[in-house]
Chains A and B, each alone.
Chain A
Amino acid sequence: MVGEWPAYRVSTTHVMTMQHRLFDCYWQMRLPELELGSEVSVTLISWLTSQAQGGDIAAPGLKR
């Protein structure tokens, strides 16, 4: 999944980054507005990427 980002999002009609997807994720979880580029966002994406090790890179993906 991580290998599909950045991805074209039908909801935004643009290719969006994983940073933006996390911003949306926190919004949907009823948390305050995530600071783009914050340490939390960067470390979380780093962790997701390390979890995806060995997977295929298939960017840009197509997402809702």
Chain B
Amino acid sequence: MQRAPAVLLFVSLAVALSTSAAAAQEARAVEAARADAAIKSAFPSAPADWQSRLVPDETMRTCSAYRNHPPGDLAQAIAQRARVVIVYPADGKLLGDWQKGEAIAQSGYGLRFTDYPPRSVNGGNCYACHRLSRQELSYGTLGPPLLDYGKARNYGAADARTAYEKIYDSQAALPCSNMPRFGSNGILTIEQIKDLVALLMSPESLVNK
């Protein structure tokens, strides 16, 4: 008699647990349309010309679908799509001014909803993810450290070109890279990307000191 309530409690607990397990199973299979609707309603004040920021392009869709590890043919398609949109400097010079590059690497300004109308040129915010110089102590580690980038490559012309392409569209070098596509997405200008290449590849740059 005395045990009965305990047994009842156990049974109802087991039922509740199995019900919630089933619910969790169901929750894992959330419909894509439902997720899209939730994302849309999370940004109700988004202006019409910002809606495109909520829509992944083909590269992002592929990377999401394969959790950043797409099969070979799809990875090649991503890299190819990126390669064909890269625009090179008209004069063929890939190295700009490394000191301007350092300022661009330090600045996280631009394209945030509080940055309109623009009060400054856009930055690259490179230090948020990369260590670039010994003197700057505040840097992120999501990306590899880039200390001595040019020195380690003997300041080679082919390496400057690789760096330009990587900054312009990271997907060309590494499909599903987490790095923003600074050129392709119109974040930085060609001149600014040249300044960043100089920051990496100039012997005088503090990256190589």
Contacts and interface: CB of A to CB of B under 8 A. Distances in A.
Interface of A: 27-28, 30-35, 38-41, 43
B54 A32 contact: yes
7 contacts: A27-B112, A27-B113, A30-B53, A35-B41, A38-B38, A38-B41, A39-B42
**Do most interface residues of chain B lie in helix, strand or loop, or is the interface mixed?**
loop
B114 to A, nearest CB: 7
Interface residues of B, number: 17
B41 A30 contact: no
Contacts, number: 42
B50 A32 contact: yes
A33 to B, nearest CB: 5
A29 B168 CA distance: 18
B46 interface: yes
A34 B112 contact: no
Contacts of B53: 30-32
A32 B45 contact: yes
Contacts of B108: 28
Q: Which of B43, B50, B111 has the most chain A CB within a 10 Å cutoff?
A: B43
A41 B42 contact: yes
A27 B114 CA distance: 8
A35 B54 CA distance: 14
B54 A31 contact: yes
Contacts of A30: 53, 111-112
B47 interface: yes
B43 A34 contact: yes
Interface in B151-191: none
Given A27-B113, A28-B108, A40 B39 contact: yes
B44 interface: yes
Nearest to A24: B112
A33 B113 contact: yes
A23 B44 CA distance: 13
A43 B43 CA distance: 15
Contacts of A33: 43, 45-46, 113
Contacts of B39: 40
Given A32-B50, A32-B54, A40 B114 contact: no
